[in-house]
Amino acid sequence: MEPGEIHALLGENGAGKSTLMNVLYGLYQPDEGEILVDGKPLKLRGPSDAIAAGIGMVHQHFMLVPVFTVTENIMLGAEQVRGGIAGFLDRRRARREVAEVSERYNLRVDPDAVIEDLPVGIQQRVEIVKALTRDVDLLILDEPTAVLTPQETEELLTVMRSLKAAGKSIVFITHKLGEVKAIADRITVIRRGKTVGTASPEASRDELAALMVGRTVRLTVDKAPATPGEPVLELANLVVDDDRQVRAVDGVDLTVRAGEVLGVAGVQGNGQTELIEAIMGLRPVLAGTITLDGQRIDGWSTKKVLRAGVGYVPEDRSVDGLVKEFTVAENLVLDVYDRPPFGRGLSLRPDEIGRAARERIEQFDVRTSSAEAPVGTLSGGNQQKVIVARELSRPLKLFIAAQPTRGVDVGSIEFIHSRVVHERDAGTAVLVVSSELDEVIGLADRIAVMYRGRIIGVVGPDTPREEIGLLMAGITPDQQGGSPDVGSAAEAGPTATVDSDPAATTDADAVSGTGTPATTDRDVAATTDGVAPAAEGPGSEDEKNR
Amino acid sequence: MSDPNSAQPGSPDKEPASEEQAGRTALGNTERAEAATTPGGPGPRPTLGRLFLENLWAANTFTVTLLSLVLAMVVGAVLMIISDPEVLATYGYITARPSDAINASWTLVSEAYANLFKGSVFDPAATTVNAALSPISETLTYTAPLVFTGLSVALAFRGGLFNIGAQGQATMGIILAALAGFLLPLPPGLHLLVAVLAGALGGAIWGFIPGILKARTGAHEVINTIMLNYIAVYFLTWLIVQNGVQDPSRTDAISRPVDASAQLPRLFGDGLRAHAGIILAVLATWAVAWLLNRSTLGFELRAVGANPDAARTAGISVTRTYVLVMVFAGALAGLGGSQMVLGTTAAALTPLVVAQIGFDGILVALLGRVKPWGVALAALLFGALQAGGNRMQSYSGISLELVTVLQALIVIFIAAPALVKAIFQLRAARTARLQTSLAKGW
């Protein structure tokens, strides 16, 4: 690592990126080898040693106390006491320090805000400020963008650039190729605990992806043209609220036909989750209708919807999809346990469950020690395969998959995609919701773009990514006027802020991209944008909307 | 290094330590034999010892339970010595004549624990069949209701609910069972059946209330079951002195006795207290085990207990499951309660007729690791401690409360496997899982 460098550490899930960085931060002890800082070997016994050596880390899951204020969180672990008297915290000094650091690096945070009220992106900023107040020279960011919206991601990249300008070094851990190309000065690829190569950011996505998984990977999905049949799912004027009673789905009309994949694209948090939960009977429908195969299903219980021939892969597999303490076999029958042949009357039939489980494990290539292993011991990709196997093991009319490949390794992604296409070819209507634009483009026969609870456009899969990207940012083609070249518009003048946001959105979403020329272009554009410090403006897309 | 003795703790207390050492050496021998038959890895000598140590000291459930028992008895021994003025006096001149202190302590502790054993398992001095069976009979009498309340807590726990209300549910069970027992003029057999079912019904109602409150309003079951405990106890106190309930020939708070036709039959003849309740308890254990592991309802229950979100997404009605779990748990506690008045412990309602079976049920459930057969064994242990404690009190003059202290200590050690591990320097294996298994549900 050189001073003032952004070094990206790229690798698949479980490649050992986080472990390496935890060693560097002193959380784990190395079995062999040594760490050199400024040419001197360093022995780290814990995070405090690392901080003393000028190494700071922002974890994937934030280490913040939700009910404390920003200042309190930052002083935590390095509390200053007033006048040297133990027990009296010097909040004022800590507050001043926070304000000073956030001022110096242009990281706007309110020192008195309570953490739990802040959006994730700002919480992350608090973590960065926390590291900076400890006077670190090397900052480790562990998968910082995994939890961020595309806008927040772009803001983070700007922050990283300004830190770099201030002479700090950054290790940036990720498996998203787009971000790496946008920001890194140097890229190290790790596979199965070994460094397999160093690349420059000019390397193409395909090259990087191949380095990451160790073979050439098809990021596109092979499929024949769809043969759409009768409408299976019809949504008419659907209105749904989210958990905070805020309107999340605001009058959606949508049709999914048998034998086609309808992809719903959109930045996360635009109502996709609520839309699907409403279809599944997990969330009350406030207005409008849901029709499955000519039958109204709004107001039905989840069990009844599942029984009617709907398969559902929920967005968050560890929360909604699996019972981690249960065995693989039990999870494979989680929603059919009470139907023959697995259950008869009140009693379960473990032999049938076990037999079916072994079959599915074989068929869906689930890597597990046995059908009786707790599902929590499996890797993310294999857990996801368990869910997909469960849902695709019964005759379906409609298959709904939300973020089917989130946090899944590339090999499993390919497999899951091929099963989805296979299901489509069997005549099932498929609804795929994903915030990965490439996934939607690759899988879907039609793409519906969702923005602020509405479907603002339905387009074909060969629509240029830019157009879909703009739709995802809420900009429909007619509003866009006659400026198709967003990149140049962004640099044009004082109104540039308006256009740079959608560009950023598209870029951040195209994370595991196909490497089309258009995408590469925008990566460059985004980088150029960010260097100009004025290209920031939260909520600025509003004016374009009206 | 590989010598098993190196892992022996230096116990501050001489006598129980030697006892405990003997016990563990005995245990060690069998383990060693097992270890010897297992094909060893490279380097036989250290491997054998290590294998043995690993087998024994791996912090598995059984070892931790056993060691918790031992630890509790060690602490109990210290308490006995401290609370006996005569023995304590010998420690005043321990430097002059240490043998006095050691002998006195040994006599006290060994006799107390011998009586505990004789009162609960077998008395070698027994001459008649009745006398020989008596300790077992007593143990079973105390065990039966605890099995039910333990199962009640365990079942709710597996469904993700912490049922502190077994006491209240047992109280309502006792009330309805007793009322059915002396108010309904029914033929024998049917009368008993109705009384037992009435007990289950009383508990089920008292479980349904927190269940429906949890399902509909999200009100926390811990708070509500505790509150319902109070209501049940004071309802009982009020009910006993009402006309038609109170025994007309008595002025104190005691109800009419339950008709003979509604009493559980005795198992070993009239001289011994063991009654059919223990058979019901075994049946209930089997039924709960089947319900949990082999039924669709149990599948739902476990899924809701482990991950309510995933259960809901899979189409399982979480609210319905919560209500059902509490109704079943309440019915089990109610059945346990009904035995206190339909069995041989008492035949009439008094304010204290429920004893502590509900609260002990929580301990039994935790000790049994919320598994049905584990609960049954834990209840047996607690029943034995109760039965033996009676004899210990009358023969050794050690107060019965010591038994309660022992029970509490056992559960504390079980709930803190890390503590047991630290004391006996067990391997860390699996302790983490134990801790979370007991910490969940709050």
* Residue-wise pLDDT tens digits, B390-422: 898 888 888 888 888 888 888 888 777 777 777
Once rounded to an integer, what is the mean pLDDT over residues A382-390? Answer: 92
pLDDT for res A16: 65
Answer whether A326 sits within 8 Å of B306, measured CB to CB. Answer: yes
A405 shares a domain with A388: no
Q: Indicate the pLDDT class of residue A500, thresholds 50, 70 and 90.
A: very low
* Residue A221 lies inside a defined structural domain of this protein: no
Check whether B3 has a pLDDT greater than 80: no
Same domain for B112 and B139: no
Based on the fold, state whether residues B300 and B199 are members of the same structural domain.
Answer: yes
Residue B125 lies in a domain: no
Banded pLDDT at A109 (limits 50, 70, 90): confident
Q: How many helices (H) and strands (E) are present in chain B, helices listed first?
A: 18, 0
Please compute the mean of the pLDDT values over residues B266-279 and round it to a whole number.
Answer: 90
- The reported pLDDT for the residue numbered A463 is 84
- E strands along A323-453, which residues? 343-344, 347-348, 398-402, 429-434, 446-451
Residue A316's pLDDT band, with cuts at 50, 70 and 90, is confident
Final residue of a structural domain among A393, A418, A434: A393
Mean pLDDT value of segment B125-145: 91
**Does residue B61 lie in a domain region?**
yes
Q: Could you list the residue range(s) of the whole structural domain that residue A492 is in? A: 472-545
B374 shares a domain with B289: yes
* A425 and A373 share one domain: no
Does residue A407 sit within a domain?
yes
- From the CA of A333, how many Å to the nearest CA of chain B? 9
Q: Do B216 and B252 reside in the same domain of the chain? A: yes
Inter-chain CB proximity B294 and A350 less than 8 Å: yes
The yes-or-no verdict on residue B436 having pLDDT over 60 is no
Pairwise CB contact (< 8 Å): A338 & B311: no
Tens of pLDDT along A49-64? 887 788 888 877 778 8
Nearest chain A CA: its distance from B248 CA (Å): 48
Q: What is the pLDDT of residues B110-120, one digit of tens each?
A: 999 999 999 99
Q: Does residue A127 sit in the same domain as residue A249?
A: no
**% of chain A residues with pLDDT over 70:** 79
Tokens of A393: 């093991």
Q: Is residue B391 a part of any domain in this protein?
A: yes
Average pLDDT over every residue of B27-45? 37
Q: Among residues 396-435 of chain B, which lie with CB inside 8 Å of chain A?
A: none
* B23 domain residue, yes or no: yes
Residues B70 and B194 placed together within one structural domain of the fold: no
pLDDT at A491 > cutoff 80 = no
Indicate yes or no: CB of A326 within 8 angstroms of CB of B302: yes
Q: What percent of chain B has pLDDT over 70?
A: 82
Q: Are residues B303 and B199 in the same domain?
A: yes
pLDDT of residue A411: 76
Q: How many angstroms away from the CA of A48 is the closest CA of chain B?
A: 26
For chain B, what is the mean pLDDT? 83
Higher pLDDT pick, A326 / B93: A326
Please report the pLDDT score of residue A466 as a whole number.
74
Q: What is the CA radius of gyration of chain A?
A: 25
Angle between helix B318-342 and B166-183 (nearest 10): 50
Q: Residues of A with CB below 8 A from B295's CB? A: 346-348
Q: Does A68 touch chain B (CB under 8 A)?
A: no
DSSP string, B142-165: HHHHHHHHHHHHHHHHHTT---TT
Q: Is residue A367 part of a domain?
A: yes
B317–chain A nearest CA distance, Å: 8
> Which of A393, A418, A442 is at the close of a domain?
A393
Tokens representing residue A18 in the block: 């986080």
B297: which chain A residues are within 8 Å (Cβ-Cβ)? 346
B242's tokens: 């009402």
Residues A276 and A405 in one domain: yes
Q: Say what the pLDDT of residue B221 is.
A: 93
User: What total number of domains does chain B contain?
Assistant: 2
Residue B55: pLDDT band (50, 70, 90) is: low
Q: Clarify whether residues A327 and A295 are in a common domain.
A: no
Q: Are B327 and B333 in contact, with CB atoms under 8 Å apart? A: no
CA-wise closest residue to B321 among B306, B335, B333, B336? B306
List the 275-314 stretch of A: residues with Cβ below 8 A of B.
280, 282, 301-307, 312, 314
What is d(CA A500, CA A96) in angstroms, rounded to the nearest whole number?
Answer: 33
The predicted structure's pLDDT at residue B395: 87
Same domain for A127 and A266?
A: no
Plot region of A143 (φ>0 → left; ψ -120 to 50 → alpha; else → beta): left
pLDDT of residue A236: 93
Distance from CA of B344 to the nearest CA of A (A): 35
A327 lies in the same domain as A376: yes
- Judge: B313–A305 Cβ closer than 8 Å, yes or no: no
Is A218 a domain residue? no
Mean pLDDT of B320-340: 96
Quickly list DSSP for A103-147.
HHTT----TTSBGGGS-HHHHHHHHHHHHHHTT-SEEEEESTTTT
Instruction: Work out the number of other CB atoms within 10 angstroms of the CB of residue B97.
Output: 11
- A305 & A413 share domain: yes
Instruction: Say if residue A523's pLDDT is above 90.
Output: no
Q: What is the pLDDT of residue A358?
A: 94
Q: What is the CATH number of the domain that holds A410?
A: 3.40.50.300
Coil vs helix vs strand at A435:
coil
Tokens, residue A333: 């029958």
| CA atoms of A380 and A378, how far apart (whole Å) | 7
Q: In A, which residues are within 8 Å of B296 by CB distance?
A: 337-338, 343, 345-348
CB–CB of B317 and A303 under 8 A? yes
Question: Would you call A319 and B307 a contact, using CB atoms and an 8 Å cutoff?
Answer: yes
Lowest mean pLDDT: which of A210-219, A461-470, B161-170?
A210-219
Is this prediction's ipTM beyond 0.85?
no
Q: Between these two residues, B342 and B92, which has the higher pLDDT value?
A: B342
> pLDDT confidence of A106, banded at 50, 70, 90?
confident
* A79 shares its domain with A25: yes
Given a cut of 90, whether residue A103 has pLDDT beyond it is: no
- Does the residue B409 lie in any domain? no
Q: Is A309 left (phi over 0), alpha (psi -120 to 50) or beta?
A: left
The C-alpha atoms of residue B123 and residue A153 are separated, in whole angstroms, by 76
Domain membership flag for residue A222: no
Whether residue B86 is found in the same domain as residue B147:
no
A315 within some domain: no
Rounded to whole angstroms, the Cα distance separating B34 from B27 reads 11
CA-nearest of A153, A156, A154, A149 to A129 is A156
- Residue that wins the pLDDT comparison between A468 and A402: A402
Least confident of A316-320, A519-523, B364-368: A519-523
Residue B408 lies in a domain: no
Q: Residue A282 and residue B36: Cα distance in Å, rounded?
A: 57
> Is the pLDDT reported for residue B239 higher than 80?
yes
Same domain, A441 and A535: no
A120-124, A148-152, A423-427, B256-260 — which is least confidently predicted? A148-152
**Greatest mean pLDDT among A183-197, A201-215, A419-433:** A419-433
pLDDT at A405: 83
CB distance B315–A346 less than 8 Å?
Answer: no
Short-list A426, A422, A344, A348, CA closest to A388: A422
Residue B50 has pLDDT above 70, yes or no: no
pLDDT score for A356: 93
Considering A335, A361, A393, which residue would you say is the last residue of a domain? A393
User: A-B interface: how many C-beta pairs under 8 angstroms?
Assistant: 70
DSSP state of A344: E
| Chain B residue nearest residue A316, CA to CA | B310
Q: Does residue A277 belong to any structural domain of this protein?
A: yes
Structure tokens at A281: 């009977």
**Tally of domains within chain A:** 4
The upper half-sphere exposure of residue A22, i.e. CA atoms within 13 Å in the direction of its Cβ, equals: 10
Closest-CA distance, B298 to chain A, in angstroms, reads 9
Which pLDDT score, from 0 to 100, does residue A45 have? 76
Q: What is the mean pLDDT of residues A90-110?
A: 81
Mean pLDDT of B228-249: 93
The tokens describing B36, both together, are 């010897």
What's B157's domain CATH number?
Answer: 1.10.3470
Q: Is residue B265 part of a domain?
A: yes
Q: What are phi and psi of A234, to 5 degrees?
A: -130, 125
* pLDDT at residue number B281: 96
B87 within some domain: yes
Provide the terminal-to-terminal Cα distance of chain A, rounded to the nearest Å. 47
Please tell me the predicted confidence (pLDDT) of residue A409. 74
Instruction: Say whether pLDDT at A264 is over 70.
Output: yes
Three-state secondary structure string covering A356-384: HHHHHHHHCCCCCCCCCCEHHHCCHHHHH
Whole-number pLDDT of residue A305? 94
Minimum CA–CA partner of B304 in chain A: A323
Does A484 touch chain B if contact means CB atoms closer than 8 Å? no
Question: Are A124 and A174 found together in one domain?
Answer: yes
Based on the domain organization, do B302 and B334 belong to the same domain? Answer: yes
Same domain, yes or no, for B243 and B372? yes
Report yes or no: A267 and A505 within 8 Å, Cβ to Cβ: yes
Average pLDDT across chain A, whole number = 77
**Is residue B85 located within the same domain as residue B162?**
no
**Average of pLDDT values for A70-97?**
74
Cis peptide before A341 (omega within 30 of 0): yes
* pLDDT (mean) for A487-499: 37
| Mean pLDDT value across residues A125-129 | 85
Sign of the dihedral through C-alpha B160, B165, B167, B171 = negative
**Angle subtended by helix axes B190-217 and B221-240, to nearest 10:** 140
Mean pLDDT calculated for residue range A153-181 = 81
pLDDT range class, residue A142, cuts 50, 70, 90? confident
What is the DSSP code (8-state) at residue B263? S
pLDDT at B298 exceeding the cut of 90: yes
Residues A147 and A78 in one domain: yes
Nearest-5° Cα angle at A188, A187 to A189: 115
With CB atoms and an 8 Å threshold, state whether A326 touches B296: no
Q: Give the pLDDT band (50/70/90) at residue B438.
A: very low
**Residue of A195 and A258 predicted with greater confidence:** A258
Same domain, yes or no: B114 and B141: no
Can you tell me the mean pLDDT for A106-110?
Answer: 80
- The confidence score (pLDDT) of residue B52 equals 55
Q: What number is the average pLDDT over the span A2-17? A: 71
HEC per residue, A260-289: CEEEEECCCCCCHHHHHHHHCCCCCCCEEE
Q: How confident is the model at residue B333 (pLDDT cuts 50, 70, 90)?
A: very high
Band (B99; pLDDT cuts 50, 70, 90): confident
Claim to verify: residue B44 and residue B151 sit in the same structural domain: no
Average of pLDDT values for B362-370?
Answer: 90
Q: Is residue A328 part of a domain?
A: yes
Which structural domain range is residue B143 located in?
Answer: 134-398
